Structure 1
Amino acid sequence: MEFSRIFMISCYVLLLCSSLTYGQAASPPAPAAISPTPTPAPAPAPEYVNLGYLLSVAGPFHTFLDYLESTKVLDTFQNQANNTEQGVTIFVPKDNAFKALKKPSLSNLSKDQVKSIILFHALPKYYALADFNDLSAKGPVSTLAGSQYTLNFTDDSGTVHLDSGWSKTKVTSAVLSTAPVAIYQVDEVLLPEAIFGTDIPPTPAPAPASHIIPAADTPSAESKESGSSPKSSPSNSSSHRIMNFGIWSQKVLAVLGGMALFF
């Protein structure tokens, strides 16, 4: 009797332990840890623009590049192109534009004046070709040379014309037009009024021909040198000869009459 009671108690304990184990096994699993949202990578920096290399392989712009390097203006353009949000717009004359400069000449200017002229060829902002249509209505635009060094723009059916006061030229091609840098080729060197004033020299008249053949009815130089009076006409010469003959005939008759008195 005692044994059966112990057996029943043992079975009850085993049943209770089994229930607790099953309950722990059936409990829901712990929630998985939530991974954080990945931070987006920063946008890549714009590519560095090497203006010196670009101008050396394009063009030919060797004369303009020489002025950029000798005046240290190249560093100013590089900084404006790569380290500012506004960017830069540069107008580059070809080598033959500098060769065409005779009066005025850059060789007679001071170093500061030459530096201002090179800075005068750039705007402190990036402008695409389409932007010049609106820019032409805003009047004079200041350049990197300063507020007194301004350019006037005119958009004529897509062709951009520049007026510096001394020289008028136009954009003939786009060397580079990708923000933040625009480089445009122009026909002439831009000369500012702030240095050369407003007394623009007139265009020289064409030289006269070295030899001109006179017309058939034009009197020759020899006739002019001989005297100012015109030559006698044939009728006047004949009348003069008749008068001379009459005078001589009268003299002969007078002599013959005198001789007759003595005989």
Structure 2
Amino acid sequence: MEFSRIFMISCSVFLLCSSLAYGQAASPPAPAAMSPSPTPAPAPAPAYVNLTYLLSVAGPFHNFLDYLESTKVMDTFQNQANNTEQGITIFVPKDSAFKALKKPSLSNLSNDQLKSLILFHAMPKFYSLADFNDLSAKGPISTLAGGQYTLNFTDNSGTVHLNSGWSKTKVTSAVHSTDPVAIYQVDKVLLPEAIFGTDIPPMPAPAPAPAPDVSPSADAPSADSKGSASPSKSSQSTSSSHRSRNLGIWSQLVLALLGGWILFL
């Protein structure tokens, strides 16, 4: 009896251990902890290009800066430089180039013409000096002025020449050439053919010369005095001729009386 009880207990323990072992083997392993993937760092924002500062420290480009501000073209240039993928290329004349302008004069342009002329000094894309060799074979290149405001380029042994159709100039130095902004100094103001080629603005009329003083002087004889002097002279000559004639008649009468008196004696 004692053996039977021990055998039953042993069987129960064996079955219990077997079931626990089977349950552990059948249960799936716990998933491994997932480490979070690193978030990529945002790309740094491009640096803001201040064209006013760049042109102020170089040059002197005071005249060009004044025109940029007065025509509000600076806003267009800044937007093209900082808010587009193409960038901008600007050709800047020195102050001496503006002083050399005698004819035609920019003072005769309307506000719209002056704005187009300043826009004519920039292209809506960044061009390095090496790019101008390719541009010389492409013909007229559009500027920010649009329409017929185009430029022709010639690369002559590394010297870039520009032809606006009315004026010719060349790049004398690179002021700034880092994408997206290229600024090149030129030795003349670019005058577009669309403004000056067919209808040159008229020059201001010269001031009228002062009229000469034609008032008669006090010593000069007046016309009336001259006119009155002539009749007096003629009257004097007439009276003298009358006296001579009367004297001749009386002389003849006296001689006749004397002759008659002598014959009577």
Q: Give the TM-score normalised by structure 2.
A: 0.68
Secondary structure at 2:59 match in 1: coil
Secondary structure at 1:54 match in 2: helix
What amino acid maps onto 2:20 in structure 1? T
> Which residue does 1:65 correspond to in 2?
65
Q: Aligned-pair distance for 1:21?
A: 3.0
Secondary structure at 1:147 match in 2: coil
Secondary structure at 2:184 match in 1: strand
Whole-Å separation in 2 of the counterparts to 1:176 and 1:67: 20
> Which residue does 2:153 correspond to in 1?
153
> Which residue does 1:164 correspond to in 2?
164
What amino acid maps onto 2:81 in structure 1? A
> Which residue does 2:10 correspond to in 1?
11
Secondary structure at 2:43 match in 1: coil
Q: Aligned-pair distance for 1:35?
A: 5.5
> Which residue does 2:85 correspond to in 1?
85
Whole-Å separation in 1 of the counterparts to 2:11 and 2:62: 105
**Superposition pairs for residues 81-120 of structure 1, below 5 Å?**
81-120=81-120
Whole-Å separation in 2 of the counterparts to 1:119 and 1:161: 19
Which structure would you say has the larger Rg? 2
Whole-Å separation in 2 of the counterparts to 1:169 and 1:177: 19
Secondary structure at 1:91 match in 2: strand
Q: Aligned-pair distance for 1:109?
A: 1.7
Secondary structure at 1:146 match in 2: coil
Whole-Å separation in 2 of the counterparts to 1:54 and 1:80: 15
Secondary structure at 1:66 match in 2: helix
* CA deviation string 1:25-64 (max 9, x = no partner): 5566233255675564453332222212221222221211
> Which residue does 1:32 correspond to in 2?
32
> Which residue does 1:22 correspond to in 2?
21
Whole-Å separation in 2 of the counterparts to 1:50 and 1:18: 82
Secondary structure at 1:89 match in 2: strand
Preserved CA contact (<8 Å) 1:165 1:198: no
Preserved CA contact (<8 Å) 1:91 1:185: yes
- CA RMSD in angstroms, aligned pairs only: 2.3
Preserved CA contact (<8 Å) 1:173 1:186: yes
Q: Aligned-pair distance for 1:9?
A: 0.9
Secondary structure at 1:44 match in 2: coil
Preserved CA contact (<8 Å) 1:106 1:114: yes
Whole-Å separation in 1 of the counterparts to 2:22 and 2:48: 68
What amino acid maps onto 2:15 in structure 1? L
* CA deviation string 1:159-211 (max 9, x = no partner): 101111232111111122222221111111111121122699xxxxxxxxxxx
> Which residue does 1:185 correspond to in 2?
185
Whole-Å separation in 1 of the counterparts to 2:167 and 2:4: 124
Q: Aligned-pair distance for 1:76?
A: 0.8
Between 131-140 and 77-86, the greater mean CA deviation after superposition: 77-86
Question: Structure 1: which 5+ runs fail to align?
Answer: 201-263
Whole-Å separation in 1 of the counterparts to 2:23 and 2:175: 77
Preserved CA contact (<8 Å) 1:133 1:154: yes
Whole-Å separation in 1 of the counterparts to 2:141 and 2:25: 81
Preserved CA contact (<8 Å) 1:166 1:198: no
> Which residue does 2:194 correspond to in 1?
194
Whole-Å separation in 1 of the counterparts to 2:22 and 2:136: 85
Secondary structure at 1:195 match in 2: helix
* CA deviation string 1:71-130 (max 9, x = no partner): 000111111112222221110111221122222221222211111110010111111111
> Which residue does 1:137 correspond to in 2?
137
Q: Percentage identity across aligned positions?
A: 78
Question: Structure 2: which 5+ runs fail to align?
Answer: 201-265
